[in-house]
Structures are given as C-alpha cells and as structure tokens.
Amino acid sequence: MSNYVRALPILRELSVDAMIVKDMANVRYLSDYTNDTGELLLFADGSAYLMTDFRFLIQARLEAADCEVLDVAGTSYAELTGKLLDKHGAKRVAFERDAVRYSEFEAFRNACSQELVPVDNVLIALRKVKTAEELRRLRRAEQIGDEAYARILSDLKPGVTELEIAAKLTYYMCEAGASGNSFPPIVASGVNSSMPHAMPGTRRLQDGDFVTMDFGCIYEGYCSDMTRTVVLGRASDRQREIYETVLAAQKATLEAIHAGMRGKDIDAVARNIINAAGFEGCFGHGLGHSVGLEIHEPPYANARSEEIVGEGMLMTVEPGIYVDGFGGVRIEDLVAVTADGHENLTNSPKELTEIPIA
C-alpha cells in the first residue's frame, strides 16, 4: 500500500480536510510515482488523486496503483483540485508553502472556495525513518559509489583534469546500475581542495596534490553520498597531519553515534577533535545530514541542531579541514543509525591513500 495512508493522520493534526502536495519527493513517497515533471497529489477522506497529463498517464496508472490518476486535459490543476475538494466537502486545505509557487497559489485561490492553509514540509517526518525496502535501495546506491571509487583510483594521474575524473565517476556509477548522479560530483585537486564544494574544472592533477572526490548516485530513486580524499604521489608531513586529524575525528564520531543523540552533540565529537588539533576555524560546515529520495534531508548534525537522531534514520558523517592556500581533506561515510550504534553503508578504505606515480 502506498505511503499516503500513513499521511492521513497529518490532516487531523493540522485541522484540515485535505492536502495539496507539490513537492515531487513527497509525491513519489506518497504515491510510488517516479516522474518529477510537476504533477500534483491531493489526498482527503482516505482518497488520493494523482493529476498529470497525457504524456505520463500510462506510467502513472502503472506506478501509483493506490491513487486515482486523473488527466488534466481540458482543465487545469487548480480547477480540477477545486472540483475534487467540493466533492469531498472540504473546508480547510493545506498546501506546502515551499513547493507551491506564488503564481500557482493564485490559481488555487481563484479556483478553490476553500481556505488554503500554508504549512511547512510536515511530510518529511514520515520520510526520516527508512523502511526495510528503502534501506535496501540505499545500501545498493552506496555500494555503487564504492565500486566507482575503486575504479577511479587507477585514473588519478598527473595531467588528468578534474572534469575528466568527475565524468568517469558518473560513467562508472551508471554502468553499475545507477540512473544518474544524486548531485554534481565534486572533484577538487591541489589548492582547490580547500574549497568544500569546489566545482570540477580544467585544472590538471599534479604530483603532490590532495584530490577530494565527493559524489553519489541515484538507485531506484534513492541517493548515495560519499567522500574520499587521496594524495597523488607521496604525502607531505603537513598533508599527513591534516588527513590523520580528519580521520581521527570521523572515527570517533562513528564510535559515538547512536539513536537519541542531538545533532549538535554528534557534530561536537568531530569538531572538538579538529579544534584541539589546532585547526579551529578550518571546519566551517556541519558534520552531516540525512539522505533518501533527496540528497539533503533532515535530520541534520551541525553546531546548532537540536534534532534528535532516531533509530532507522540515516546520517552522513563528513568532517573536514580546509586550509586556505594549501588544500583540504574531507572523509564521508553514510550510516544508518541503530539503537546502540550504527550500520555503515560505505565500505571504501579510508586510511591515507597515496597514489603511485609511474
């Protein structure tokens, strides 16, 4: 049965009669429909309606088996929504404030007689704890990343550009069964590795470079995410110090993480180690985030997060050190949180890897 049934109690919690869902990750989660072209899901009174157009009707009817699939031909999403709301006698209707554009809101307001109630992404609470089927897909997505990483190491040579490495990572993941990237791969070499989210460019790898690769794929709709940093050639003492500090911070966090922790307490484990090693101010991003149908989902682990990380939730553990003008290191695993620890979905080696130069 589709997950929209699990969402029905939310209507009572919000004191509304129906809900308009436009966020496509939520549409997919509630209906099993995999397209992302701007369809609309409406649920009320135990009924769910998926609206689309002729191009996707067959796909929608095959995938969204628990929804009534409606063709918007000859009408509009707003007009069809208004008719359905009248049919159900709805008075108050919730809509996702972050997913409905203002022009869409105006169309709904003109076509619907009901009170329209803006709400935050209340449906994300359902998506935080992963089902066994979701975990299966996430494990495979992360395994594909592991396989791509193992292959890419032989491609890291002086003269190869960051863009070439990013393209090969994408190819390797798709060849292994991924449907695409979960985000544009980050490949940052040399001084570029001091930028946590550097976009790959035409810089050519050089002897002595840090090379940071942050990448992931989509497998059956679910995202993976991992980061590894290597050294091309022999690591200097400074590079080794930075790398070993990040690795120690990540290992300590993995040992500490368990259900019931606040995000900021998870973050503090790594941050305290990095700061104590003399790198305060060089770890400027949060420790991690959850992953699922989207690459960034709550809960988050950062210095301000009061969110409780529960059993069955996912979390990236990705501390880093970034030294302006020198370079940086990030090491990232994806874990499923358990009652007393975690299951690490990432299995690539993370001890300092020095890539031999012929």
Q: Are 20 and 40 in contact (CB under 8 A)?
A: yes
**Separation of alpha carbons 61 and 67, rounded Å:** 8
pLDDT in the model for residue 267: 98
Residue 41 amino acid letter = L
Q: Reply yes or no on whether the pLDDT at 156 is more than 90.
A: yes
pLDDT in the model for residue 270: 98
| Strand locations in 104-252 (E) | 115-119, 180-181, 186-189, 210-215, 217-219, 222-223, 226-232
Q: Which domains does the chain have, with CATH numbers?
A: 4-127 (3.40.350.10), 129-355 (3.90.230.10)
Mean pLDDT, rounded, for 105-133: 96
Burial of 154 (0-12, 13-18, 19+ CB in 10 A): exposed
DSSP 156: -
**Separation of alpha carbons 96 and 249, rounded Å:** 38
SS3 content of the chain, % helix, strand, coil (to 5): 40, 25, 35
Mean pLDDT, rounded, for 81-94: 97
Note the pLDDT tens digit of each residue in 317-329: 999 999 999 999 9
Count of C-beta atoms within a 10 Å radius of residue 75: 15
**Separation of alpha carbons 124 and 28, rounded Å:** 12
Please, what is the Cα angle at 206 between 202 and 211, to 5 degrees?
Answer: 75
Two structure tokens written together for 264: 């900021």
> What's the Cα-to-Cα distance from 122 to each of 97, 118, 347, rounded to whole Å?
10, 11, 33
**Separation of alpha carbons 44 and 46, rounded Å:** 5
Q: How confident is the model at residue 2 (pLDDT cuts 50, 70, 90)?
A: low
Grouping H, G, I as helix, E, B as strand and the rest as coil, residue 338 is: coil
Question: What phi and psi values does residue 118 have, to the nearest 5 degrees?
Answer: -75, 135
pLDDT in the model for residue 17: 96
Please, what is the Cα angle at 221 between 216 and 226, to 5 degrees?
Answer: 15
Two structure tokens written together for 165: 């490495």
Q: Reply yes or no on whether the pLDDT at 5 is more than 90.
A: no
Helix (H), strand (E) at residue 138: helix 132-152
pLDDT in the model for residue 126: 92
DSSP 181: E
pLDDT in the model for residue 219: 98
Task: Calculate what percentage of the chain has a pLDDT beyond 90.
Answer: 94
